[in-house]
Amino acid sequence: MSDKSESQLQKIKISRVILPTFIGLGVVVYLMFRNFDVKAFDAVQFTYQSVFWLLVAAFMMFLRDFGYVVRIKILTGDQLTWIQAIRIILLWEFTSAITPSAIGGTGVAILYVNKEGISLGKSSAVVMATSFLDEMYFVILFPLLLLFINTQELFAIGGGFSFTNPFLIAAITGYSIKFLWVIIISYGLFVNPRGFKWFVLLIFKLPFLRKWRAKAHNVGDDIIISSKELKSQKKEFWLKTFAATFFSWTARYWVVNALFLAFFTVGDHFLLFARQLVMWIMMLVSPTPGGSGFTEYVFTEYLGDLLPYTGVAVLMALLWRLFTYYPYLFIGVYLFPRWVRMKFKKKAKKT
């Protein structure tokens, strides 16, 4: 398991930062030319109030990462120091930023945790629990939002609501995948891990899936190991970890509210919050690294009508990505090679 994780790690190259950066900025430039409106840009004024709300947005990102750090400390039984926990989260976010949204950074996350001194079994359990908790947030919150927000307000883009709306289709597809994943991983972790592995390997015997059977075998092993670690945990453990998850994701969504307030008046904060959650569900179907390009487009089209001037939405999308995405790319470029040298050179010396 460790050797295979290390081989995955070797596939992560700093040069991969270039692709999502160019895709994201390329889409922004295209949308800017397509939707250019002089009056809209003239309406944007930078004031002391702007500085205040931009600082609030930055603080929300700090709270978001703080929630993740607290969660991973709880999941590891407080075996990690604060520095180790911060390092794992930043490396994890960097990996997520350069891989497609549907894949994320979980492929090498086990190795990140393991190399910080956590046993392989517990590292596997931590990553599985993290994935489970993140998806649970969406699975629970999305239907709750539908109870309080009119569906037409949530998906009526361009003045009307339709069941053929691409945003509605993307949201339903993304939510269905998340819901199915929660059901499957819940069964595997808490009910029948060996039966889960047998079923997964049976599916991957199909001719068009056979080449991924080795990876499916690894996932089955991870589920079995993780199940042993997690089934024994008490209710307090799950309450604490889900509270940290809720705190982290919610802080992430308030970033856009703060960015909007830096330049405009927001009419309905709750609707803006809800649309962001739906937007993240849509991002699951993005094939590009970190959702680059797709995310900027969805932000501009899906949140643009909540701005007084839709022509400025593309600038807000770029500003949002500068707060929530590009910092992890830059931090990763600095941190990742140093972490590899520190962990693997140390291993080589011992050998």
Reported as a pLDDT band with limits 50, 70 and 90, residue 238 is very high
Averaged confidence pLDDT in the chain: 82
| Contact in structure between 266 and 257 (CB atoms under 8 Å) | yes
DSSP of 22-89: HHHHHHHHHHHHHT--HHHHHT----HHHHHHHHHHHHHHHHHHHHHHHHHHHHTTT-S-HHHHHHHH
Distance, in Å, from the CA atom of 45 to the CA atom of 5, rounded to the nearest integer, reads 49
Distance, in Å, from the CA atom of 351 to the CA atom of 344, rounded to the nearest integer, reads 10
Report the SS3 class of residue 233.
Answer: coil
pLDDT of residue 5: 52
* Spacing of C-alpha 106 from chain mean position: 10
| Contact in structure between 132 and 189 (CB atoms under 8 Å) | yes
Could you report the per-residue pLDDT of 153-198, keeping only the tens digit for each?
Answer: 787 665 556 667 777 788 888 899 889 989 988 888 888 888 888 8
Tokens of 252: 């992430």
Q: Which amino acid, residue 173?
A: T
pLDDT of residue 255: 94
Could you report the per-residue pLDDT of 24-73, keeping only the tens digit for each?
Answer: 677 767 666 666 566 666 777 888 999 999 999 999 999 999 999 999 99
Distance, in Å, from the CA atom of 192 to the CA atom of 143, rounded to the nearest integer, reads 28
- Res 326 pLDDT > 80: yes
Distance, in Å, from the CA atom of 181 to the CA atom of 59, rounded to the nearest integer, reads 32
Q: Which amino acid, residue 124?
A: S
- Overall average pLDDT of the 194-217 stretch: 77
Reported as a pLDDT band with limits 50, 70 and 90, residue 79 is very high
pLDDT of residue 343: 78
Q: Which of 205, 215, 204 is nearest to 4 (CA)?
A: 215
Q: Which residues contact 328 (CB under 8 A, 6 or more apart)?
A: 90, 93, 94, 96, 97
As a dihedral over the C-alpha atoms of residue 197, residue 199, residue 203, residue 205, rounded to 10 degrees, the angle is: 70
| Contact in structure between 283 and 294 (CB atoms under 8 Å) | yes
Tokens of 167: 């945003």
| Contact in structure between 229 and 125 (CB atoms under 8 Å) | yes
Q: Which of 182, 185, 190 is nearest to 228 (CA)?
A: 190
Give the ranges where the chain is alpha helix by DSSP (H).
2-10, 18-34, 38-42, 48-75, 82-97, 106-114, 120-148, 151-155, 166-190, 193-203, 213-230, 235-261, 269-282, 294-303, 313-324, 326-350
